[in-house]
Homo-oligomer: A and B are copies of this chain.
Amino acid sequence: GFASLDHHRSLRQGFPEVVLCEGKTQAQIVSIVRALLKRRGPLLATRAEPAVARAIRRLDRRARYHEDAKVVVVHDPKRVRRGHVLIVTAGTADVSVAEEARVTAEVMGSHVETLYDVGVAGLHRLLGRKDRLFTARVIVVAAGMDGVLPSVVGGLVDCPVIAVPTSRGYGASFGGLAALLTMLNSCAAGVGVMNIDNGFGAACLAHRINILGQRGKG
C-alpha cells in the first residue's frame, strides 16, 4: 500500500500521526484519514484545500475546517487547555501561518493567545504590549520579508522563543529564505528556528515546551 500508518505515535508522543495533505492525492488522504478515524483519537490534517476538507467532512461530520489555517480538525472541544503559548506576527500577511500554529497547539491541548501585526515598522505596537510578552511560557513569532521580529522579541523576554519565517515578501526575499537566514543569525540568544511557513512544527515544539513541568518529567 501507499501508506504505513504509525499507529504507535499516540503512545510515544502523546498525539496521533498528523496528515500533511500537500503532495498527496485526495484518494490517498481519504484512505489515510479513514484509517486514523477508526482509532478514535483526535484528527489533524494540515495544508488541506477546501475540496479535501469537504471530503473529510463526508467521512466524519464532526470535522471542522479552519480555512485561514488550511487545517481540518476532529477533536473534543471541551478538553481543558493548559499553560500559555503566545503567537505573534510581524504583519497581516503572516497570519495564515500563525493560524496553522494556533489551531495545532490548541488541538494538542495548549492555551493560546495571539498578538498579530506588530512588526518593527511601528515598534510602539510591540513595546506598548510588553506585558503580553512577559506572561507567556513560550512565544512563537512568525515574520516574512526581513524577518526581524524574533530578534526584537528575543531581546526582551526570558522565555523560549520559536521563530517561523514566512514566505511573504518578493524579490530578494527568495520565498522566505531571507527571513529564515535572519532568524538563524539572530543576535538574541535562545531563538529556535522552524522551516519556512511551518506553523505546524512551531506549534508542536511550543506545545511540548508549554506542558513541561506540568507532566511527570518536571
Size of interface on A: residues with Cβ below 8 Å to B: 99
* Contact indicator per residue, chain A 157-178, by CB within 8 Å of chain B (1) or not (0): 1111110010111111111111
Copies in the complex: 8
Q: Report yes or no: B178 in contact with A182, Cβ–Cβ below 8 A.
A: yes
Name A's B-contacting residues (CB within 8 A). Answer: 1-6, 8-9, 12-14, 17-18, 20, 22-24, 28, 32, 90-93, 95, 116-125, 127, 135, 137-138, 144-148, 151-152, 154-162, 165, 167-198, 200-201, 204-205, 207-209, 212-214, 217-218
| Contacts A/B (CB < 8 Å), 24 sampled | A4-B117, A4-B125, A8-B124, A23-B169, A24-B93, A146-B182, A146-B183, A146-B185, A160-B209, A170-B197, A171-B180, A171-B184, A171-B185, A172-B180, A178-B185, A184-B193, A184-B194, A184-B195, A186-B201, A191-B201, A192-B193, A193-B194, A209-B209, A213-B213
